[in-house]
Amino acid sequence: MSEFSAISGVRSLHRLIYASRQRIAPADLEHEVGAIIRASIRNNREASLTGLLLIHDGWFIQALEGPAEAVMTTYRRIIDDPRHVDTKVLSAGPATSREFADWNMCARHMSASDDAILDALALRAAFRPDTLSATSALRLLKAVRGIQERTASAAVG
């Protein structure tokens, strides 16, 4: 492998999506999620990472996208975080473009008004993100991104 392809390999755009189970007392959830988001914004900006963190029903689902090496380094750090367990990679590999380019990391709690999304994805009865296919996981996070965009523009307009 030439030096150039080795470098372009680590710099090329990758996306990783994983699911994990929260290990945070309900009373501490808001506080801990706030701390996770603050650390993520600080570190991910530095590492050219973008993504989305979905928080629902005792689960985290997160997309991380950016240079392959940064994605893996960050994911290794995240795996060791005691605030969740049973991390399972749902999808990982090269990506042609960023799907979550607007956020260094934003979190979304699903609420009752978001149920339509879960219904559409047939997920509401038993929310088991660890069984999602790569395609469904990306579809879910993109649907959440759509809500996030509409909510943000409603707040501005």
Ligand X SMILES: Cc1cc2nc3c(=O)[nH]c(=O)nc-3n(C[C@H](O)[C@H](O)[C@H](O)COP(=O)(O)O)c2cc1C
Summarize as ranges the residues that interact with ligand X (CB under 6 A): 36, 39-40, 42-44, 51, 53, 60, 62, 64, 74, 77-78, 81, 83-84, 105
Minimum gap (Å) between residue 24 Cβ and ligand X? 8
Closer to ligand X at the Cβ: 22 or 123? Answer: 22
Q: Hey, what's the torsion of the CAs at 27, 147, 86, 43, to 10 degrees? A: -80
- Single-letter amino acid, residue 123: L
Burial class (CB in 10 A: 0-12, 13-18, 19+), 132: buried
Residue closer to ligand X by CB (options 81, 114) is: 81
- Residue 1: CB minimum distance to ligand X, A: 29
Helix, strand, coil % over all residues of the chain, rounded to 5: 50, 25, 25
Q: Which is nearer to ligand X, 83 or 139 (CB)?
A: 83
